[in-house]
């Protein structure tokens, strides 16, 4: 089944527009595609007329061309009729917004079977029902939530596939924006009557050129599809990540009323995914941290060159002793080790630092440059550590509170990282007045995080990805 | 030792002002107290003169009055001389900013012993050395970081005591501000040569009327002081929280260069604190979530009245099925249970909801009102659940993305919570355009969190506090 028309349509039609209710899903979808997206849009309204200056067509067969995609925002029986029209007119893809299908059981299940029959017999790439559909910038956006209510993430390398529309727009869109992570295409799969996780994994890993990382929120696998999914994931050159909802008995009860998924035994699922080299974050934070790191690594200007984090050997630079302690406390849990400095290295480090800080700073690992730090101290220490080969990654805990840290510090660090290619991950507090520092690092694709834990998690994610890449290439076997 | 003059001085003197360097700690402290705080301030500068229009006195004994507090921002030997002056002039308290004492070992240790001798013999409440000192609004602020670089939290019920200045201004100040948590007094204890965790716990739990919650960041207990600390904590009516740095071997190594603390065996410490009813958050997030809940509960207008969360029986209301699933997944881990609704209760809930949502919503627990939700649905469901006695707390996962949720929703929920007194904890995404909704809830002291995990943690913190209160009162024994 060809998904290209679903995600990169040249023209779309929308049906289910209310003339009375400006908040009706069909009307919101029509207007956001006309005003905000880069696609030819036709509105369908029995009786015709116009809305907000946009001409409405009476019927699908009156359109001047066959659209690539039909978005249907109607009650279930009318939905079925329009899907039948797609078959007759040769419309190759459709997004079904409305519910009233398998998720309500009984007659809803029968309706969904009809939907599947028409779609599979006529090769229609049908997404949904009971979903938000597709956000595929710059072309199409079928999310019926008003754009001003949600947050659109920037364009990037991550394809998002979610069994929950709420999770898609909140946990992904909103938090991606907050963390500056980029999305290639986002898909809300709803009941996945036709287009399912296997087809999407195949499309994004084998067809779509914009995607290098594929992240799923799933509440269970579609029946009979898990084996294909696992095999595809293992063979994929992209990073495949699954965040799973319904891990516990309590969560499973909730999925049954949500998407009628049979969540299965999570332990079995966890092990199967792990053996197929699928990354499974343990928390929302870890999910977002990993995706941020992987998105950065997929950029054209990868700041770390071919340097990778294999064993998790790190050096920590801090300007706050407490932050250094708390970061050190987390290393082991995340599979990382603090490199030991030789007495000679410590002496050298000390010689790099300004006279006031020198007396009170600590040159073990973690290095604490204290509140008496200058920009040049941080610069010189990072430059020196970048040349120490056994250090694979430098963690910089950069609080810009000490009076002598300037607004140039981000650019200064970026210059060194760009020339040395040693992986560097930064912690900077999430405060708008420091966005100049944060931006100067992120423009150079150096990932910045806003808690100690996320910073440590990010280095762990770098190590994890090296490991998975090696396992996929057969350079490494399971221990 | 009386700490009142240290935290509530009527007048202070500052020594260690540089006329050349506007970023010298003494000069920053002088100016921020003159310009920003509500205390009489004297600057000391050998040779006198003035700076930024402020008269500088040649010596301490030339001041028109004996100040309550002397802030010393000088190198260690000069520091010792000024502490001797405090003794001779009868200055009752002092903050020592500079380092070069026990934390550098050797001669530093000897200097610290001298400091201690003078202070104890003359009953001087001496804070530090090697610290940021005190932030006690509205009176005094000895933090030498420029105010515009850091974030000051609002006034509230939490006393903060930190062994790391960096942790104080970043993890506490900055994140308190982000989460709208209030501080009574903040103390950076540095080497705690004289004023230590035991004196501070005693002062904040027995003397200070503004404090109801006392939070410590510690990297170890002062030698010989842990027993007194534990006993005081157990007897305290305030909530006592300890967040510990240096839990692991790696972290302990870091504490030794930071504050020369002997972190001890964390397992032993953990159990001792636990037995003395001290709350020990497992992560920074859990620490902040707990403090937010406890700060809210300490407000004059406690929105929950005398209602408490004893068994952790909750109801969850969501407008996103995925969020409901993820929250349900976390319940058990945090010691909470989803109440089961009877068929009659489910029917009643269904009857409250608008016709569109009714067909697709789910009325199990979690309740998923879907994207077709109206304000009145949320209102009516919360009102109904508030009267179901076996529900101890309602979790509202409120994504304001659905088109019909209005900006009044926060006020509507607040009105019900205020009249019903049933504990309600809300999740709302951290997006500035929704701050009107967030503020209307927080003005009514209903705690709002910005991730599912924090929301669930908050309910767990409510349960934990009920349990600790009962244990302290002897209403409950250890299971």
Question: Which tens digits make up the pLDDT trace of A283-305?
Answer: 999 999 999 999 999 987 788 88
Determine the residue of chain A that is closest to B332 in CA distance: A250
Q: Which of A245, A368, A403 sits opposite B258 (nearest CB)?
A: A368
Task: Provide the pLDDT confidence category of residue B256 given band limits of 50, 70 and 90.
Answer: confident
pLDDT at B412: 97
**Is B170–A323 a contact, with Cβ atoms under 8 angstroms apart?**
yes
The ipTM estimated for the assembled molecules is 0.92
Other C-beta atoms closer than 10 Å to the C-beta of B324 total 32
CATH of the domain at A421: 3.40.50.261
Q: Which among A71, A97, A130 is the end of a domain? A: A130
Angle in degrees, CA A41, A158, A155, rounded to 5: 50
Which secondary-structure segment (H or E) carries A14?
strand A11-15
Q: For residue A205, what is the DSSP state?
A: I
The predicted-structure confidence for B275-289, as pLDDT tens digits, reads as follows 999 999 999 999 999
**Helical H segments across B123-188, by residue range:** 165-167, 175-179
Q: How far is CA A149 from the centre of its chain?
A: 20
| Residue at A235 is within a domain | yes
Q: Which of B250, B321, B402 sits opposite A332 (nearest CB)?
A: B250
Residues A354, B290 contacting (CB under 8 angstroms): no
pLDDT at B359: 86
Q: Which among B82, B101, B130 is the end of a domain? A: B130
The answer, yes or no, to whether residue A261 has pLDDT greater than 70, is no
Candidates B166, B252, B398, partner chain A, best to mutate (most A CBs within 10 A): B166
Q: Round to whole Å and give the CA distance between B42 and B68.
A: 11
Candidates B18, B31, B401, B427, partner chain A, best to mutate (most A CBs within 10 A): B401
The predicted-structure confidence for A21-35, as pLDDT tens digits, reads as follows 999 999 999 999 999
Q: Round to whole Å and give the CA distance between B30 and B371.
A: 55
B115 burial type by CB count under 10 A (0-12 exposed, 13-18 middle, 19+ buried)? buried
pLDDT exceeding 90 applies to what percent of chain A? 90
Determine the residue of chain B that is closest to A164 in CA distance: B322
Contacts of B366 (CB under 8 A, 6+ apart): A254, B316, B317, B318, B324, B325, B327, B328, B338
User: Taking CB atoms and an 8 Å cutoff, what residues of chain A touch B319?
Assistant: 166
Structure tokens that stand for B292 in this block: 């937010």
| Residue at B419 is within a domain | yes
The predicted-structure confidence for A413-468, as pLDDT tens digits, reads as follows 999 999 999 999 999 999 999 999 999 999 999 999 999 999 999 999 999 999 99
**Is B245–A145 a contact, with Cβ atoms under 8 angstroms apart?**
no
**Is B149–A401 a contact, with Cβ atoms under 8 angstroms apart?**
yes
Q: Please report where in the chains the tokens 């068994």 appear, as a residue.
A: B311
Q: For residue B152, what is the DSSP state?
A: P
A:B CB pairs within 8 Å: 227
Residue A228's Cβ-side half-sphere holds a number of Cα atoms within 13 Å equal to 12
| Residue at A478 is within a domain | no
Paired strand residues for A368: A318, A362
| Residue at B137 is within a domain | no
Listed residue (B329, B436, B318, B442) closest to B382, CA to CA: B318
Mean of pLDDT over chain A: 94
Helix%, strand%, coil% for chain B, nearest 5: 45, 20, 40
**Is A251–B362 a contact, with Cβ atoms under 8 angstroms apart?**
no
In a shared domain, residues A311 and A379? yes
Determine the residue of chain A that is closest to B249 in CA distance: A329
In a shared domain, residues A399 and A259? no
In a shared domain, residues A270 and A361? no
Residues A371, A405 contacting (CB under 8 angstroms): no
Residues B183, B155 contacting (CB under 8 angstroms): yes
Q: Round to whole Å and give the CA distance between B28 and B31.
A: 5
**Is B170–A320 a contact, with Cβ atoms under 8 angstroms apart?**
yes
Q: Mind telling me how many Å the CA of A224 is from chain B's nearest CA?
A: 23
Strand, helix or coil at B187?
A: strand
Angle in degrees, CA B230, B231, B235, rounded to 5: 115
In a shared domain, residues A231 and A288? yes
Count of residues in chain B: 479
Q: Please state the rounded mean pLDDT for residues A359-377.
A: 94
Candidates A325, A354, A405, partner chain B, best to mutate (most B CBs within 10 A): A325
User: Taking CB atoms and an 8 Å cutoff, what residues of chain A touch B259?
Assistant: 321
User: Taking CB atoms and an 8 Å cutoff, what residues of chain A touch B453?
Assistant: 283-285
In a shared domain, residues B267 and B336? no
| Residue at A276 is within a domain | yes
The CA dihedral of B257, B169, A424, B103, to the nearest 10 degrees, is -10
The answer, yes or no, to whether residue B37 has pLDDT greater than 60, is yes
The CA dihedral of B60, B66, B71, B74, to the nearest 10 degrees, is 20
pLDDT at A305: 86
User: Taking CB atoms and an 8 Å cutoff, what residues of chain B touch A245?
Assistant: 322, 325-326, 329
In a shared domain, residues A259 and A323? no
Paired strand residues for A318: A368, A397
Determine the residue of chain A that is closest to B429 in CA distance: A170
The answer, yes or no, to whether residue A86 has pLDDT greater than 90, is yes
Structure tokens that stand for A229 in this block: 């999914």
Q: Round to whole Å and give the CA distance between B437 and A30.
A: 28
Gap between the terminal Cα atoms of chain A: 39
**Is B331–A255 a contact, with Cβ atoms under 8 angstroms apart?**
no
**Is A163–B322 a contact, with Cβ atoms under 8 angstroms apart?**
yes
The predicted-structure confidence for B290-305, as pLDDT tens digits, reads as follows 999 999 999 888 889 8
**Is B326–A251 a contact, with Cβ atoms under 8 angstroms apart?**
yes
Residues A240, A201 contacting (CB under 8 angstroms): yes
Q: Round to whole Å and give the CA distance between A90 and A344.
A: 74
Helix%, strand%, coil% for chain A, nearest 5: 45, 20, 40
| Residue at B143 is within a domain | no
Q: Round to whole Å and give the CA distance between A221 and A91.
A: 28
In a shared domain, residues B203 and B269? yes
| Residue at B363 is within a domain | yes
In a shared domain, residues A318 and A216? no
Candidates A146, A401, A407, A427, partner chain B, best to mutate (most B CBs within 10 A): A401
Task: Provide the pLDDT confidence category of residue A104 given band limits of 50, 70 and 90.
Answer: confident
Q: Round to whole Å and give the CA distance between B172 and B154.
A: 12
Q: Is A445 left (phi over 0), alpha (psi -120 to 50) or beta?
A: left
The predicted-structure confidence for A121-161, as pLDDT tens digits, reads as follows 999 999 999 999 999 999 999 999 999 999 999 999 999 99
| Residue at B135 is within a domain | no
Whole-number Cα distances in Å, A29 to B7, B297, B370, B401: 59, 44, 18, 14
Count of residues in chain A: 479
Which secondary-structure segment (H or E) carries B218?
strand B213-218
Listed residue (A370, A379, A365, A387) closest to A414, CA to CA: A379
User: Taking CB atoms and an 8 Å cutoff, what residues of chain A touch B402?
Assistant: 145
Q: Please state the rounded mean pLDDT for residues B50-57.
A: 96
Count of structural domains, chain A: 3
CATH of the domain at B126: 3.40.50.720
Task: Provide the pLDDT confidence category of residue B250 given band limits of 50, 70 and 90.
Answer: confident
Q: Please report where in the chains the tokens 């806003």 appear, as a residue.
A: A450
**Is B170–A429 a contact, with Cβ atoms under 8 angstroms apart?**
yes
Structure tokens that stand for B281 in this block: 């958050």
Q: Round to whole Å and give the CA distance between A216 and A290.
A: 13
Whole-number Cα distances in Å, B181 to A93, B164, B173, B287, B440: 50, 20, 9, 12, 16
Q: For residue A2, what is the DSSP state?
A: -
Determine the residue of chain A that is closest to B407 in CA distance: A149
**Strand spans (E) along A147-264:** 154-162, 182-188, 213-218, 239-244
User: Taking CB atoms and an 8 Å cutoff, what residues of chain A touch B129?
Assistant: none
B191 burial type by CB count under 10 A (0-12 exposed, 13-18 middle, 19+ buried)? buried
Whole-number Cα distances in Å, A79 to A1, A75, A94, A109, B442: 21, 6, 10, 14, 43
Residues A396, A426 contacting (CB under 8 angstroms): yes
Residues B385, B393 contacting (CB under 8 angstroms): no
The predicted-structure confidence for B146-156, as pLDDT tens digits, reads as follows 999 999 999 99
- Phi, psi (rounded to 5 degrees) for B187: -135, 125
Q: Mind telling me how many Å the CA of A300 is from chain B's nearest CA?
A: 30
In a shared domain, residues A240 and A106? no
In a shared domain, residues A345 and A272? no
Q: Which among B234, B265, B299 is the end of a domain? A: B299
User: Taking CB atoms and an 8 Å cutoff, what residues of chain A touch B28?
Assistant: 403
Q: Round to whole Å and give the CA distance between A300 and A306.
A: 13
Task: Provide the pLDDT confidence category of residue B261 given band limits of 50, 70 and 90.
Answer: low
In a shared domain, residues A180 and A105? no
In a shared domain, residues B287 and B411? no
Q: How far is CA A206 from the centre of its chain?
A: 18
Q: Mind telling me how many Å the CA of A122 is from chain B's nearest CA?
A: 29
Task: Provide the pLDDT confidence category of residue B478 given band limits of 50, 70 and 90.
Answer: low
Which secondary-structure segment (H or E) carries B459?
helix B452-473
- Phi, psi (rounded to 5 degrees) for B99: -100, -165
Q: Mind telling me how many Å the CA of A332 is from chain B's nearest CA?
A: 8
Crossing angle between the packed helical segments A435-442 and A409-420, to the nearest 10 degrees: 10
Paired strand residues for A186: A135, A160
Q: Mind telling me how many Å the CA of B12 is from chain A's nearest CA?
A: 23
Residues B372, B354 contacting (CB under 8 angstroms): yes
Determine the residue of chain A that is closest to B255 in CA distance: A325
Q: Please state the rounded mean pLDDT for residues A65-82.
A: 97
For residue B111, what are the domain limits? 1-130
């Amino acid at each position: 089944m060809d998904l290209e028309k679903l995600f990169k349509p040249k023209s779309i039609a929308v049906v289910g527009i209310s003339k009375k209710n400006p908040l009706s899903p069909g009307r919101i979808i029509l207007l956001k595609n006309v005003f905000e997206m880069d696609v030819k849009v036709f509105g369908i309204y029995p009786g015709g007329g116009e809305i907000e200056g946009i001409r409405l067509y009476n019927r699908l067969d009156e359109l001047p061309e066959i659209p690539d995609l039909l978005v249907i925002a109607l009650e279930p029986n009318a939905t079925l009729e329009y899907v039948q029209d797609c078959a007759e007119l040769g419309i190759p893809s459709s997004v079904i917004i409305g519910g009233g299908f398998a998720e309500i059981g009984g007659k809803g299940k029968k309706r969904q079977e009809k939907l599947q029959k028409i779609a599979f017999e006529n090769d229609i790439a049908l997404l949904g029902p009971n979903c938000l559909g597709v956000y595929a910038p710059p072309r199409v956006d079928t999310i019926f939530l008003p754009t001003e209510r949600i947050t659109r993430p920037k364009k990037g390398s991550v394809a998002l596939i979610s069994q929950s529309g709420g999770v898609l727009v909140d946990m992904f869109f909103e938090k991606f924006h907050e963390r500056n992570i980029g999305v290639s295409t986002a898909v809300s799969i709803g009941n996945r009557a036709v287009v399912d996780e296997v087809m999407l994994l195949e499309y994004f890993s084998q067809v779509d050129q914009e995607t290098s990382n594929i992240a799923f929120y799933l509440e269970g696998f579609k029946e009979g599809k898990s084996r294909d999914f696992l095999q595809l994931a293992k063979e994929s050159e992209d990073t495949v990540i699954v965040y799973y909802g319904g891990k516990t008995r309590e969560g499973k009860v909730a999925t049954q009323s949500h998407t009628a998924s049979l969540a299965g035994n999570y332990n079995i699922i966890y092990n199967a995914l792990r053996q197929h080299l699928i990354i499974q974050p343990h928390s929302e934070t870890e999910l977002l941290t990993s995706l941020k790191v992987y998105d950065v690594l997929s950029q054209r200007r990868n700041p770390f060159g071919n340097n990778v984090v294999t064993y998790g050997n790190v050096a920590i630079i801090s300007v706050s002793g407490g932050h250094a302690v708390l970061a050190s406390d987390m290393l082991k849990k995340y599979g990382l080790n603090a490199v030991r400095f030789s007495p000679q290295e410590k002496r050298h480090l000390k010689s790099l630092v300004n006279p006031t800080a020198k007396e009170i700073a600590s040159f073990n690992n973690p290095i604490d440059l204290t509140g008496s730090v200058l920009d040049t101290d941080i610069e010189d220490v990072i430059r020196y550590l970048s040349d120490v080969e056994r250090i694979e990654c430098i963690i910089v805990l950069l609080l810009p509170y000490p009076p002598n840290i300037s607004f140039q510090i981000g650019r200064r660090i970026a210059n060194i990282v760009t020339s040395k290619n040693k992986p560097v991950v930064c912690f900077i507090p999430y405060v708008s007045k420091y966005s100049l520092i944060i931006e100067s690092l992120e423009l150079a694709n150096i990932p910045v995080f806003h808690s100690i834990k996320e910073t440590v998690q990010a280095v762990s994610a770098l190590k994890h990805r090296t490991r998975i890449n090696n396992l996929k290439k057969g350079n490494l076997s399971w221990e």
